[in-house]
Amino acid sequence: MSVEEEEKSFMNLNPLRNSPIITTEEENTMFNFEDYVAEKVNQVNDALDDAVPVNYPKTIYEAMKYSLMAGGKRIRPLLCIAACEAVGGHQSAAMPAACAVEMIHTMSLIQDDLPCMDNDDLRRGKPTNHKVCVCKHSLNPLAGDGLFVLAIEQMATATPGVAPNKVLAAVRELAKAGGVEGLVGGQAEDLRYTGSNQTVKLETLENIHLRKTAVLFEASVVMGAIFGGGSDEQVEKLRIFARKIGLLFQVVDDILDVTQSSEELGKTAGKDLAVDKTTYPKLLGLEKAMEFAEKLNGEATAQLTDFDRKKVAPLVALADYIARRHN
Amino acid sequence: MSVEEEEKSFMNLNPLRNSPIITTEEENTMFNFEDYVAEKVNQVNDALDDAVPVNYPKTIYEAMKYSLMAGGKRIRPLLCIAACEAVGGHQSAAMPAACAVEMIHTMSLIQDDLPCMDNDDLRRGKPTNHKVCVCKHSLNPLAGDGLFVLAIEQMATATPGVAPNKVLAAVRELAKAGGVEGLVGGQAEDLRYTGSNQTVKLETLENIHLRKTAVLFEASVVMGAIFGGGSDEQVEKLRIFARKIGLLFQVVDDILDVTQSSEELGKTAGKDLAVDKTTYPKLLGLEKAMEFAEKLNGEATAQLTDFDRKKVAPLVALADYIARRHN
């Protein structure tokens, strides 16, 4: 099977499909992941477009909107919605949170690409924010901040009918993901080692990835579960699931950086090697890194066994997609 | 009276003091503003010190703490506490919000001083964050973000006994102050005009100052009033008061930039003129700018007439201090 065929055939990635306990009838009622993703991504894109108006001052709103609407797989919003549905909620309850996590993710991309950070030119197959707005360089960090704050503001506002304590819990999840325990701390620690001659231990690398990636996955899934009406027990199981696949996402990202081309990735490939960055393939070797990815995927989906099999299918498929994606 | 004597004699700045309706008895019970400020600033500094631990990763916490603890007049926390007391609350109810506004203010200072923004070397009489952490340049925006997120997180967490809807209202105020309607939008618009040949109208200048300064003053005072248990009517009067003195603060800042030395200011003086920045003195002339400042002070304190005279005295004195400060 070609890479293209494999990518299109999402259902083959679902381990439950080969499970002997799934009957043909069940299999027939299982959703089409490709259609699911296409539908939800469209809805998320519409919601994001609505969420960022182009008011005065236009320059900053346009910079925010440029990066937010420049494509992207929308994995975090999809996880948020899928977690909401996994506990029996309707996706509309998760949509404000789904938008919020994508805004925070986009903020982190803008910052990562800045000249004082990774100084990257290509993101999501398009020129990075600081390459487009080169005449107004200083707008870049502001656009990132604007998106972050908008995420918090909309989260704290656009949740009619939800108990204030649940909204507050969601705000705390978002803040944790964006702050020193999350993106800020992860990026700071990452920068400390990049280009230095210090040996990075596996424990440190995992800590960086947990902060840079897994904590936002966690916020996405936990907020979705909270707004979907999940029990405390369900929320905690989904929290562990999300941390595992967050780490998985980063391990795969490290692997793809050495195995794929810039064209396939939609961003500069081989970047980690070029700046001598510590990655899982560098520390473990490519094969062991791939085994570790499989292990994380298994540990993640193991958290989902007590959930309704049909309702949780999108989450399972998303985990598999994260494990086996090619960009 | 020398400048020094005038600065020390805060009570002379209180317009109510010369009001014929104040009796000698009332005057004797009026508080000592100097002692009030000294006491509250110490308490705020202790609370800020507690609010930012130096955990892993140390580099980022240290960068955050450096700028947060580098002195400063703590006007926003003082306003927050004074507003809480003005509606009959105890200062302890306002302390988390007081810390939050100072963190967000410090974030904006770090960003303002960045090489891609104002590129300033001196702040609060000390080298700016990016001058101290010159070997880890990219930590500067992260330190700012870290402080902003910590402010939101602590606000959403450290408010035991307060109704969640009140905490959410406070989070919304903070987010508005930090986002495009506030600091981010103000800074973006400010940068658009700085060094350009475009004529800035008075309306645009006021809009920039409202966003860059007044919205955070507003958040400080409104959050203090909310946590102090103020009525909706009280909160709205204090909101107008805060916007007026926020704008006043910036008008005075513009005036001081042309009338004071760097030594007196604790930051680079004459900077606005050097970069041909539009300011109130530039648009209105120095005298008219000073008249405008007096007008704003009068309009602000007029909002406070229905409050308990004794409880509101710190707010009145703070407004006067802002109008007549020398740095």
What pLDDT does A134 receive?
41
Q: Which of A107-116, A136-145, B61-70, B191-200 has the highest mean pLDDT?
A: B61-70
- What lies within 8 Å, CB to CB, of B53 at 6+ separation is B61
Share of chain B above pLDDT 90, in %: 60
Q: What is the pLDDT of residues A257-277, one digit of tens each?
A: 888 877 777 777 777 777 777
Contact A184 B145 (CB under 8 A): yes
Report whether A183 contacts A216 (CB < 8 A): yes
Least confident range from B101-110, B185-194, B295-304: namely: B185-194
> Which has more confidence, B71 or A78?
A78
Q: Is A246 helix (H, G, I), strand (E, B) or coil?
A: helix
Alpha helices by DSSP H, listed for chain A, are 3-8, 24-29, 33-51, 58-68, 75-86, 91-113, 129-132, 139-157, 164-178, 183-193, 202-209, 215-227, 232-259, 262-265, 271-274, 280-284, 286-302, 309-324
Going by their DSSP bridges, the two strands A126-127 and B126-127 should be labelled as unpaired
Contact B176 A164 (CB under 8 A): no
What pLDDT does B76 receive?
98
- Give me the residue spans of the domains in chain A: 3-324
Nearest Cα residue to B124 out of B139, B135, B109, B111: B109
Tokens of A133: 């707005």
CA separation for the pair B72, B133 (Å, rounded): 19
Going from the C-alpha of A60 to that of each of A124, A128, B247, the distances in angstroms are: 20, 15, 22
Report whether B109 contacts B251 (CB < 8 A): no
The partner residue sitting opposite B188, judged by closest CB among A59, A168, A180, is A59
CA separation for the pair A203, A184 (Å, rounded): 18
> Which has more confidence, A98 or A131?
A98
What's the gap in Å between the CA of B131 and the closest CA on chain A? Answer: 15
Q: What is the pLDDT of residues A306-322, one digit of tens each?
A: 999 999 999 999 999 99
Chain B environment of A60 (Cβ under 8 Å): 180, 184-185, 188-189
Report whether A94 contacts A227 (CB < 8 A): yes
CA separation for the pair A322, A74 (Å, rounded): 12
Here the ipTM equals: 0.82
Band the pLDDT of B130: cuts 50, 70, 90: low
Burial A117-141 (b: 16+ CB within 10 A, else e): bbebebbbeebbbbebbeebbbbbb
CA separation for the pair A51, A43 (Å, rounded): 12
What pLDDT does B262 receive?
77
Nearest Cα residue to A156 out of B276, B207, B174: B174
CA separation for the pair B238, A49 (Å, rounded): 35
Q: Which of A21-25, A53-57, A198-202, B206-210 has the highest mean pLDDT?
A: B206-210
Chain A environment of B52 (Cβ under 8 Å): none
Chain B environment of A172 (Cβ under 8 Å): 153, 156-157
CA separation for the pair B305, A311 (Å, rounded): 60
What pLDDT does B119 receive?
61
- What lies within 8 Å, CB to CB, of A310 at 6+ separation is A26, A29, A30
What's the gap in Å between the CA of A134 and the closest CA on chain B? Answer: 12
Q: What is the pLDDT of residues B180-233, one digit of tens each?
A: 999 999 988 888 887 677 888 999 999 999 999 999 999 999 999 999 999 999
Using the predicted structure, report yes or no on whether residue B299 has a pLDDT greater than 90.
Answer: yes
What pLDDT does A102 receive?
97
Q: Looking at residues B5-15, what average pLDDT do you find? A: 36
Least confident range from A81-85, B50-54, B196-200: namely: B196-200
CA B62, B66, B69, B74 dihedral sign is negative
Going from the C-alpha of B125 to that of each of A241, B73, B194, the distances in angstroms are: 49, 12, 24
Asked if A158 reaches chain B (Cβ–Cβ under 8 Å), the answer is no
CA separation for the pair A249, A202 (Å, rounded): 16
Asked if B167 reaches chain A (Cβ–Cβ under 8 Å), the answer is yes
> ω into residue B164 within 30 of 0, thus cis?
no
The partner residue sitting opposite B184, judged by closest CB among A146, A156, A189, is A146
Nearest Cα residue to B258 out of B230, B237, B278: B278
Share of chain A above pLDDT 70, in %: 82
CA separation for the pair A249, A76 (Å, rounded): 11
User: Could you say which architecture CATH assigns to the domain A3-324?
Assistant: Orthogonal Bundle (1.10)
Provide Rg for chain B, Cα atoms. Answer: 19
What's the gap in Å between the CA of B139 and the closest CA on chain A? Answer: 6
Residue position matching structure tokens 């469209």:
A42
H-helix or E-strand containing B5? helix B3-8
CA separation for the pair A77, A68 (Å, rounded): 13
Tokens of A169: 């819990």
Torsion of CA A188, A191, A196, A200, to 10 degrees: 70
Q: What is the pLDDT of residues A234-253, one digit of tens each?
A: 999 999 999 999 999 999 99
Residue position matching structure tokens 């988390």:
B96
Q: Looking at residues A34-55, what average pLDDT do you find? A: 95
Using the predicted structure, report yes or no on whether residue A7 has a pLDDT greater than 90.
Answer: no
B136: nearest CA partner in chain A: A192
CA B154, B157, B160, B163 dihedral sign is positive
Q: Is B212 helix (H, G, I), strand (E, B) or coil?
A: helix
Chain A environment of B59 (Cβ under 8 Å): 188-189, 192
